[in-house]
Amino acid sequence: MKEVYYCCAIILCLFLPYVCDAYFTSDASQSCFCKLEGQIDDCSCNVDTVDHFNNMKIFPRLQSLLSADYFRFYKVNLKRDCPFWTDDSRCAIRYCNVQACQEEDIPPGLKQYNPSMNSIFGNQDMSLRVRQFIDGNEDCEELEADLNEELGYLNTTISAAAYEEFEKWQAHDALENFCEVDEDKDAQYVDLLLNPERYTGYKGKSAHRIWNSIYKENCFRPENHYDAFIQSNQLNRMCLEKRVFYRVISGMHASINIHLCSKYLLSDKESLISPGGKWGANLEEFKRRFSPLTTDNEGPHWLRNLYFLYLLELRALAKAAPYLTHEEFFTGSDKDDRDVRDAVRDLLSVIKSFPNHFDESTMFTGGAQATKLKDEFRQHFRNISVIMDCVGCEKCKLWGKLQVQGIGAALKILFSGKFESLSPPGLQPGQKAKSQFQLQRGEIVTLFNAFGRLSNSINELEMFRKLLRE
């Protein structure tokens, strides 16, 4: 009898670690979530803490804020050719196409107002008069004369040599960006609300080539590691900075996959019954992408990296809050702009209250070697931003570029070193916090929208938890 007891005990000890994984075969199981708990890697915060903070406080506020005109219209160039290979796998499914933005739908302030004019002239009154011109409340000839006077004054006091220096400064600042920003002549406004991120049917070799190029050619890797994905137990073979880079990319990948599973194309691709497509949660697809049984036990770790990226972007918003609190968020509508400013301040105050922010001060310390590593970090991420032009699905390219650029803006805030000396709070209304440079509108739009995508992913995880319990 004792022999039987000891035998059972040994078998139980051997197989107990796999009990959780075996539960994935049951619809009543918690599947991927049985290991998604406890402290988030390389952070001092728990999964449960982020779940409650996001779902109760952040997600509802972001849903409302991102529907505002300032954030819903994103300027992007979707016509750039892939610089690395010839993509012959363009998505032919109609759901891959981005709906064109009608000119009359774009707020007049986004089309005509140049927010840099205020910093060039250093004149609040002139900025106000330009806005009045846009609204049709100012005499055109009078304003033009005033503008010519201002421009004439500047042209006579700033030498050609000084202008050359300005161009050098601008080029230097561009090099310090962590990603490419679409500000060329082919960039057009896209209404994000008309083009939601969801599964379009784009997959296969073209999609796999994108992710393989990102992981294999641009992510830092442990020595003698050649697989696309780095096993979680191998990450500690790299320094903190290289681990952070991988967790950022893995977290973005996990977030995108959650969006595709929660907004999955359930109807036939060419259905005549549902020409607009039928979209909804696909639980089996979610388990396929994140179950330990189908991901060599890595799915739960990928989900943890989503939480890591969330905390990193949360910290970036908190760090830039003194600047963002005094941003005008100008679209040409006084009421809408005022509402957005109030909503942003409310959101930032909630973000500031979070008790366990990501600590970027522990990274890139150590002299010349740290500086070299930061340059490599930046260049690798810039490469990834360019790879987004190789995506064969137009809608996937849209959301890929937006999320990469949003992460790039967050990395710029955290690691460029130019947001360390913002003016203290308490500025007068209309005044901006001063830093060594300012974020462009496109960077602000992508920063908030990319964080909104992460917030949405964490909220969708709760939906999948409920489906698994049912």
Question: Which residue ranges are tagged as binding site for FAD?
Answer: 198, 200, 211, 250, 253, 289
Catalytic residue, from 45, 91, 179, 396: name it: 396
- CA 285 – CA 265 distance, rounded (Å): 11
**Would you say 433 and 423 are in contact if contact means Cβ atoms under 8 Å apart?**
yes
- CA 409 – CA 411 distance, rounded (Å): 5
Pick the closest to residue 376 from 247, 245, 248 (CA basis).
245
Assigned token pair, 345: 């301040």
The amino acid occupying position 202 is Y
- CA 85 – CA 91 distance, rounded (Å): 16
**Would you say 260 and 279 are in contact if contact means Cβ atoms under 8 Å apart?**
no
Helix-helix angle 205-218:368-387, to 10 degrees: 170
Catalytic residue, from 32, 43, 101, 393: name it: 393
Roughly how many angstroms between the first and final C-alpha of the chain, as a whole number?
41
Pick the closest to residue 391 from 279, 280, 270, 256 (CA basis).
256
Sign of CA dihedral 383, 385, 386, 392: positive
The amino acid occupying position 38 is G
Write the burial class of residue 405 (CB in 10 Å: 0-12 exposed, 13-18 middle, 19+ buried). buried
**Would you say 374 and 415 are in contact if contact means Cβ atoms under 8 Å apart?**
yes
* Distinct helix (H) and strand (E) counts, the chain: 19, 4
State how far the alpha carbon of 144 is from the alpha carbons of 64, 114, 132, 139, 460, in Å: 38, 15, 13, 9, 52
Told to judge if 396 belongs to the known catalytic residues of this protein, a careful annotator would answer yes
Told to judge if 45 belongs to the known catalytic residues of this protein, a careful annotator would answer no
**Would you say 290 and 300 are in contact if contact means Cβ atoms under 8 Å apart?**
yes
Annotated binding-site residue numbers: 198, 200, 211, 250, 253, 289
Assigned token pair, 200: 């379009």
**Would you say 19 and 293 are in contact if contact means Cβ atoms under 8 Å apart?**
no
C-alpha count within 13 angstroms, C-beta hemisphere, residue 13: 6
**Would you say 216 and 230 are in contact if contact means Cβ atoms under 8 Å apart?**
no
Assigned token pair, 180: 């490419």
Could you give the residue numbers annotated as active site? 393, 396
